[in-house]
Amino acid sequence: MRIPALIAALTAWSTLALPVSAESAGSIADTDVTAAQLKKGATSYRKRCARCHGVNMVNAGPGIFDLRTFPKDDKPRFVDAVMNGKNAMPSWGDVLDEEDVDTLWIYVTK
């Protein structure tokens, strides 16, 4: 499985900064993404998102947005959907803070 191997690698390298390209990071291109942020995003994704969006973002069924195709340059759209909900997706605005959404964005756009 991809996630356990990623988590193990991130744990080992948690103090290293990982450079992120503008192409893969969207609006976070000017900042360094740490392994700890990516790990937190992966953990949050598994806890809150994987039920619907699937393990490793491989959808669990039809009618669910495929996060692998989310535009990597449209963080505002992502934040809006996560915080306010969209269609069948519930709002997470009362559960997640800005940092949580940022780490989810990092994970989804990695």
- Burial (0-12, 13-18, 19+ Cβ within 10 Å), 26: buried
CA triple 106-108-110, angle to 5 deg: 60
Total domain count for the chain?
Answer: 1
Count of CA atoms in the C-beta half-sphere (13 A) of 91: 5
Q: Global pTM?
A: 0.68
Domain range spanning residue 38?
Answer: 2-108
Please say whether the beta carbons of 72 and 23 come within 8 A. Answer: yes
**Tens digits of residue pLDDT in 25-51:** 444 443 578 999 999 999 999 999 999
Measured in whole angstroms, the distance separating CA 18 from the mean position of its chain's CA atoms is: 15
The enclosing domain of 10 has a CATH number of: 1.10.760.10
67-92 pLDDT, tens digit per residue, is 999 999 999 999 999 999 998 899 99
